[in-house]
Amino acid sequence: MGNPTGFIDVARQLPEDRDAKERLIDWQEVHEHMSEADIKEQASRCMDCGVPFCMSGKSQYAPAVAGCPVNNLIPEWNDLIYRGRWKEALLRLHKTNNFPEFTGRVCPAPCEGSCVLGINADPVTIKHHEVSIIERGFAEGWVVANPPKQRTGQTVAVIGSGPAGLAAAAQLNSAGHLVTLYERADRIGGLLMYGIPNMKLQKEVVERRVQIMAEEGINFVTHTEVGKDISMQRLADEFDSVVIATGATVPRDLPVLGRNAKGVHFAMEFLTKNTKSLLDSKHEDGAYISAKGKDVVVIGGGDTGTDCVGTSLRHGCNSVIQLEIMPQPPETRLDNNPWPQWPKKLLVDYGQEESIAVQGADPRQYLVMTKKIEQDDNGQVNAVHTIGVEWKKNPEGQMIPYEVAGSEKVYPADLVLLAMGFLGPEGKILDDLGVEKDSRSNAKADYGEFDTSVKGVFACGDARRGQSLIVWAINEGRGAAQAVDQYLMGKTYLPK
């Protein structure tokens, strides 16, 4: 700890985000960066605690996991930043995290939720330090391809190029195995590319990393859907091992009257087409669902819904609201959600900030259930009918939503986006090879082992644990790589 009184002397500070109205006219990232001097001062707030909960990533505080799931060596690099030893900070950061440029931008930062300073003060700005270290590394030319010195002669097929597949591929390649990564989309990155919008994560950031991985010897095969363009059996026959990292992208549907009206779409269709058209032609091809001039109703109050709000506002929608069936979270942690758990409290994310700037109000409406989608004579959606709910226990003791009489509302709508979470992975490739599934239809494989019911076939990321976070996908990709290496070589030196 460079400055033993830093946590007393210095207040938490983050760079201002770009002005909410100004950033709506482009698709560039919302967040700004801080000066080196300010970052150094912020790093001095880290107390280098005897027990650094921030890096623990343990689930003993169930249901919430506390600390960083990839066990980033946070106090070490905070100290190195304070001392101006950025290159060493980068080496320590890369030791546990293959892609700090992704987590440093879009991780919800469970590390900050369990920072010891957060017990009675504002936590250290850990996430901003992470992105600052890796961006300094790129700017200085320290992040370069580092191909393995020797090849083992073993081959691995990785299916899916999201953070789990990319982390598994990077680790397996570093161990000397020849990795071929199959992706059905035209671009590499999974939800990093087509899911999370540009204003949260610019796609050059993903492409920059993929380029380095290609230089390190990973063979990327796009436009290839396993189970359709190439069979699972063929991969199992031709490769020494197979890693399934196909994500969990089956969306939860809304079985109400009018669901099939024109103008009702899953959030992922809206977000994916938007990013693809933006990257292909800066939207000139028109191959996206436009919210311009429309009244937009987003059903789902989570992060995917927020991305739909931010995207709709950038299109120039007439209005946008976000409906959520759950109650509004509290302003501060509740007693049953103590430190070091992730604090479940009301957050105003970028999409809500932008809505407040443009519409004068947070777009979220809580405790609202959609009853019906109304359509006009042409089958085009024109309104969403809702009713208020309250959550109470049913006779079996389960909390369920009860409708509140007299709380019916009708919202005008030209575009309805369904963002109510995901049910699990698309099952075909699991079925093709007879990979056993768990009760939630994910590929069945124990955490830490990652091997499925089929010998030599491993599973990781959202395809194994259900829709989660990038940091967990990286953790699982690294863990699966370790398990594959052990399977192929009888021993492994790969870290998790």
Where does this chain bind ligand FAD (CB under 6 A)? Answer: 106-107, 159-165, 182-185, 190-191, 195-196, 200, 225-227, 245-247, 249, 271, 303-304, 307, 426, 429, 461-463, 467-471, 473
Beta bridge partners of 38: none
Q: Secondary structure of 118-155 in the HEC alphabet?
A: HHCCCCCCHHHHHHHHHHHHHHHCCCCCCCCCCCCCCE
| C-alpha–C-alpha distance, residues 284 and 249, integer Å | 28
Q: Pick between residue 57 and residue 165 the one whose CB is nearest to ligand FAD.
A: 165
Q: Pick between residue 14 and residue 185 the one whose CB is nearest to ligand FAD.
A: 185
Task: Tell the smallest beta-carbon distance from residue 190 to ligand FAD (Å).
Answer: 2
Task: Tell the smallest beta-carbon distance from residue 125 to ligand FAD (Å).
Answer: 17
Q: Pick between residue 43 and residue 473 the one whose CB is nearest to ligand FAD.
A: 473
Q: Pick between residue 317 and residue 387 the one whose CB is nearest to ligand FAD.
A: 317
| C-alpha–C-alpha distance, residues 62 and 336, integer Å | 12
The single-letter code of the amino acid at 44 is S
Q: Pick between residue 89 and residue 159 the one whose CB is nearest to ligand FAD.
A: 159
Collapsing DSSP to helix, strand or coil, 33 comes out as coil
Task: Tell the smallest beta-carbon distance from residue 403 to ligand FAD (Å).
Answer: 29
Q: Pick between residue 382 and residue 475 the one whose CB is nearest to ligand FAD.
A: 475
Q: Pick between residue 230 and residue 256 the one whose CB is nearest to ligand FAD.
A: 230
Task: Tell the smallest beta-carbon distance from residue 398 to ligand FAD (Å).
Answer: 27
H or E element in which residue 265 lies: strand 264-266
Q: Pick between residue 310 and residue 388 the one whose CB is nearest to ligand FAD.
A: 310
Beta bridge partners of 322: 298, 364
Q: Pick between residue 133 and residue 245 the one whose CB is nearest to ligand FAD.
A: 245
Task: Tell the smallest beta-carbon distance from residue 372 to ligand FAD (Å).
Answer: 26
Task: Tell the smallest beta-carbon distance from residue 100 to ligand FAD (Å).
Answer: 13
Task: Tell the smallest beta-carbon distance from residue 467 to ligand FAD (Å).
Answer: 6
Rounded (10°) CA dihedral 453, 455, 461, 464: 0
Non-local (6+) Cβ contacts of 496 within 8 A are 71, 475, 478, 479, 482
| C-alpha–C-alpha distance, residues 243 and 464, integer Å | 11
Question: Which is nearest to 88 in space by CA: 149, 142, 33?
Answer: 142
Burial class (CB in 10 A: 0-12, 13-18, 19+), 374: middle
The single-letter code of the amino acid at 206 is V
Task: Tell the smallest beta-carbon distance from residue 221 to ligand FAD (Å).
Answer: 9
Q: Pick between residue 57 and residue 247 the one whose CB is nearest to ligand FAD.
A: 247
Q: Pick between residue 104 and residue 123 the one whose CB is nearest to ligand FAD.
A: 104
Task: Tell the smallest beta-carbon distance from residue 185 to ligand FAD (Å).
Answer: 5
| C-alpha–C-alpha distance, residues 241 and 138, integer Å | 33
Task: Tell the smallest beta-carbon distance from residue 232 to ligand FAD (Å).
Answer: 9
Task: Tell the smallest beta-carbon distance from residue 229 to ligand FAD (Å).
Answer: 8
